[in-house]
Chains A and B, each alone.
Chain A
């Protein structure tokens, strides 16, 4: 009986591997044919490259600040997927030597964005560290004012890990975001300076081994009576990519599911924060992002964040506990990322 059970477990594992790991990887690989590169390849890839794969839904005002921030942190190759209605991102970025722009052939089916991005990660980031963000996300980690992402990666590699856990922190201003306008090339960090230091919850979710983090302004303003349906803020933004890896829903969960575990057993590894300034985007951009985000390859990965952002940008969110973000120390104090033993 025991033997049969063992065999059944093996079969189940193989079935799981095929259905949830190899099949998505294969689909992502196949979907590459629907994309075409719009800018020229600038140089040969190096193993030490740090690649950021970024979908672009039309956040043109914010993009340059985002690229500059992550360039400063040490990202040296940006792979952008132009999913905007108008297109023309490649033309905008002709000056930037470290950007490669891809765009779907034919009409843009936003539901396929997840597969397309997985394809680009596979193509550019296999064997390298890959940062998966959106143009409205700004990465922050322990002492990110003085340290680089390469430093974080060095430490994480020394802790024998190949992925970093992250949490989205929604930023907001004194006034509703609709009343603020971001000029082209402006820095969104000057407009939205507040964040919620309290009011987050960590829930364990079984199947995919991830922890579901919820909270922040969305939970307190939009979901006070149904907090379980407030969006999942947990992310796996930084991964040392292998060919068979794929994101299952947005960047919330990954397959193989081992990559969703935020920390080692009995040892807390460093994590990071994604400061989210998406409230400054207009509704058209947000609805495109929401469509792309709604696609899930793996069910039960938590609720998406974008539908709430378009409601949130019309509300005044400031409360007594809202704190101005000055440096990464504020995020440590709020417990939003864990510095771990990174001295």
Chain B
């Protein structure tokens, strides 16, 4: 399997009236064909910012100062005033933003959005063609076709999230960037969504996923590799098992040790939160597991 996406030296800065906030500081990530890369970190670590830069939707106050994105051998400059071709957004890289399921218009049926999305990329498509394409996709992925005719309030949270996930990939993008797609769901819906994402990869609807979340147990289930971000940088990256069972960087260790799961070792031992760790240690150099 070859490399699908190679994003290099990305620097994203928020210009906040005289003050500059560097949210992503010279970060490079690479995703292989067919892979789910988990991007983990806490609030403010820059994981969402990195995701939005890679999915080409950075807009003021966020400015990309430098960086390149290479997909299928085509190189796109991201920094400064680089012109990003319209056709890349949605069709080459697609973004499933945080809380996407709440962005369905409450007064419109789901099929309205489907037509809107497809028409904005293909002026000639008819309503019927658009709906046929969506219906086929929805049924292959195990959702009832009636969701197309439903209003958002008629669908459960899990259904809505699966529906927007399908709509975001209708154009068969090479890469899907999913930002906290499971965070508002209950555990059963989370599991179903993860299964669906993996099936979509299997069916080559998209060829790679960047899964942005703070939820490490979810990444354990879905990601083949994990990169941990802290203060705008990736501090450690590697295969999921290594990252979870043998983290080397002090920050990753602190993060992993503060996860609570229903396992016997958590009922009787007291776990100390991150304040007991020395934050200075978190600036240790990046650890890369091969």
Q: Do A and B bind each other?
A: no
